[in-house]
């Protein structure tokens, strides 16, 4: 397992970053690496995001010095959504089979976590979000059908989409993690517009289903001091609580969002008018 550390910073610092510094601090460039568990530890609310891609062998998730615990979920909870081929997650001996876009919430206290693919030529790609927890909530297997589906946007505004809420109080209990997947309709390219911030929660976006040479322009920064980062398929970006997190792309796409912080109220956001952005 690899664990990349990203430290928190002040918004006044970020507005002076050039492209290289923005990407170094916020972009998670390699989410999936063959036969590895590749994770990024953000000091923004201590969220961990990344991926596990078992191809030729099973992958077991252990602890690290940075966590200071005997095992990974000793004081954490986790959400997983599979964005690859059929695979299995083994939790303390219990197997959960995840097809494409199936999810899994894992409660604090789970000791053994093993990832494996059914077919190495079409490997599973387990996208992972994990944050600190204070109590154990039951582990729940969440298919896409079991998620809460919220249609939003319009074709005229190029933001017609469906928000699928997986780790959400209406679906399963969690300590602070919220996680879901937003799918944009063909012909739409904008997500989270009009934009917003939520000082109560940080967020990580993972973009996928970008075909061929299409790219995402992810918008970030304070509303009057915006910046952008270009992302390719299967890359992720860290969004501090003070930052907007909107995006547009050269095609439609899908993204997974994960949040942690003070509350789990999805609609608790500070909306920003389009004409107020700079």
DSSP calls for 52-84:
EE-SSS-EE----TTTTSSSTTSSEEEEEEE-S
b/e string for 6-31 if b means 16 or more Cβ within 10 A? beeeeeeebeebeeeebbebbbbebb
Asked whether the beta carbons of 90 and 114 are under 8 A apart, the reply is yes
Helix ranges restricted to H, the chain: 11-14, 19-26
Residue 189 has a pLDDT of 97
Residue 99 has a pLDDT of 98
| Residue 228 CB-half CA count within 13 A | 13
Residue 208 has a pLDDT of 98
Residue 199 has a pLDDT of 92
pLDDT, block means (10 residues), the chain with 278 residues: 95 95 98 98 98 98 94 98 98 98 98 98 98 98 97 96 97 98 98 94 98 96 97 98 97 98 92 95
Q: Measured between alpha carbons, how far is 107 from 197 in angstroms, rounded to an integer?
A: 28
Nearest to 172 by CA among 105, 246, 272, 85: 105
Residue reference for tokens 């063909």: 186
Asked whether the beta carbons of 79 and 103 are under 8 A apart, the reply is yes
Beta carbons within 10 angstroms of residue 138's beta carbon: 10
Residue reference for tokens 């990344």: 50
The pTM (predicted TM-score) of the whole model is 0.97
Q: Measured between alpha carbons, how far is 277 from 262 in angstroms, rounded to an integer?
A: 26
Q: Measured between alpha carbons, how far is 241 from 186 in angstroms, rounded to an integer?
A: 30
Report the chain's terminal Cα–Cα distance, integer Å. Answer: 40
Residue 89 has a pLDDT of 98
Residue 103 has a pLDDT of 98
Cβ partners under 8 Å of residue 72, min gap 6? 61, 62, 63, 78, 113, 130
Structure tokens, 73: 């979920």
């Amino acid at each position: 397992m690899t664990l990349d550390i990203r430290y928190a910073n002040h918004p006044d610092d970020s507005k002076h970053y050039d492209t290289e510094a923005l990407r170094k601090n916020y972009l998670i460039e390699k989410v999936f690496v063959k036969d590895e568990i590749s994770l990024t530890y953000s000091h923004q609310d201590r969220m961990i995001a990344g991926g596990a891609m078992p191809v030729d062998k099973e992958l077991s998730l252990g602890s690290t010095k940075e966590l200071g615990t005997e095992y990974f979920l000793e004081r954490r909870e986790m959400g997983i959504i599979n964005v690859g081929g059929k695979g299995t997650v083994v939790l303390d001996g219990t197997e959960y089979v995840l097809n494409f876009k199936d999810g899994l919430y894992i409660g604090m206290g789970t000791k053994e976590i093993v990832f494996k693919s059914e077919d190495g030529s079409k490997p599973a790609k387990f996208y992972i979000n994990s944050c600190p927890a204070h109590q154990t909530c039951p582990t729940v297997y969440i298919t896409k059908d079991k998620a809460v589906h919220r249609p939003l946007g319009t074709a005229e505004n190029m933001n017609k989409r469906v928000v699928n809420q997986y780790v959400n109080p209406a679906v399963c209990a969690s300590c602070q993690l919220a996680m879901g997947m937003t799918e944009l309709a063909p012909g739409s390219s904008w997500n989270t517009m009009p934009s917003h911030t939520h000082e109560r929660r940080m967020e990580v976006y993972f973009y996928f289903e970008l075909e061929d040479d299409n790219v995402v322009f992810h918008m970030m920064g304070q509303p009057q001091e915006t910046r952008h980062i270009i992302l390719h398929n299967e890359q992720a970006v860290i969004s501090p609580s003070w930052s907007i997190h909107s995006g547009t792309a050269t095609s439609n796409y899908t993204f997974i969002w994960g949040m942690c912080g003070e509350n789990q109220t999805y609609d608790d956001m500070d909306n920003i008018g389009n004409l107020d952005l700079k």
